[in-house]
Chains A and B, each alone.
With several copies, the nearest count.
Chain A
């Protein structure tokens, strides 16, 4: 019901597979922790696979934006993969769809980092 996250490497890119809800509290905290951990290990090319994320609240959106600006400020890149309709619509109405680099195919997403 809540958030699960696992990170895997695809070449020089880290793909974080998320499933569940990114909401106020532990969900948002877990996402933050995963991004920090990977940045700490020097991984600056990060893809968040949101294919199994069916719910994000305003706190979760804030966490996505926070992850994006943190990674960018350290010279890295954070991209999004596989948005569910709900998450897509949410990013659309909040005008964040154009801010994030969004992919629906993992290979293309990985290659986009060159």
Chain B
């Protein structure tokens, strides 16, 4: 199995520009993995939210700190890791944005969105410190087996 998993790593600086760049790279990879436009949007936005948090809470906008992204195209799903070198955090401490008293808060919806848009979501604390957000989405059923598989079509690449 591991030999079948395609892995792409990206390292970005803690900059606002990195947010959209991370999303665009993710969109490119998700599309080639066979996700449709709507799923690509959800996956891309999840990466966006993850990188925003690394930028803001993990690194407090300190440019020199690196944000790492790992994209793994496993046989059955796409796994994405967003890793920072900040203080880390516990999911249990994150307030529920759907609670009545939080509905009119102007923040606190990033993690909720990642959870809603992806099939799997967890947050690890790295030994060296820092948060590792791991999220995964199953490939669509229509897609056929194996990452990047497209329908065969004679005379057309």
B155 close to chain A: CB less than 8 A: yes
**Which B residues are CB-close (under 8 A) to A38?**
none
Tally of A-B Cβ pairs under 8 angstroms: 66
Q: Choose among A2, A55, A65 the residue that contacts B106 (Cβ–Cβ < 8 A).
A: A65
Contact of B94 with A by CB under 8 A? no
Q: Are B107 and A58 in contact (CB under 8 A)?
A: yes
Shortest beta-carbon distance from A45 to chain B in Å: 20
Q: Does A63 contact B (CB under 8 A)?
A: yes
A62 close to B103 (CB less than 8 A): no
Answer whether residue B1 sits at the interface, using C-beta atoms and an 8 A cutoff.
no
Of residues 63 through 90 on chain B, the ones whose CB sits less than 8 Å from some CB of chain A are: none
Q: Are B155 and A5 in contact (CB under 8 A)?
A: yes
Task: State the Cβ distance, B129 to closest chain A Cβ, in Å.
Answer: 25
- Report whether B157 and A86 are in contact in the complex, using a CB–CB cutoff of 8 Å: no
Interface readout for A16-58 with B: 1 if CB under 8 Å, 0 if not? 0000110111110010000000000000000000000001011
Residues in A whose Cβ lies below 8 Å from that of B16: 24-25
Which B residues, 100 to 129, have Cβ-Cβ distances below 8 Å to chain A? Answer: 103-107, 109-110, 112-113, 116
Add 8 more A-B contacts to A58-B110, A93-B113, A96-B103 (CB < 8 A): A23-B20, A25-B16, A27-B157, A58-B107, A58-B109, A62-B105, A65-B106, A66-B106
B-side residues, CB < 8 A to A, are: 16, 19-20, 41, 45, 48-49, 52, 97-98, 103-107, 109-110, 112-113, 116, 155-157
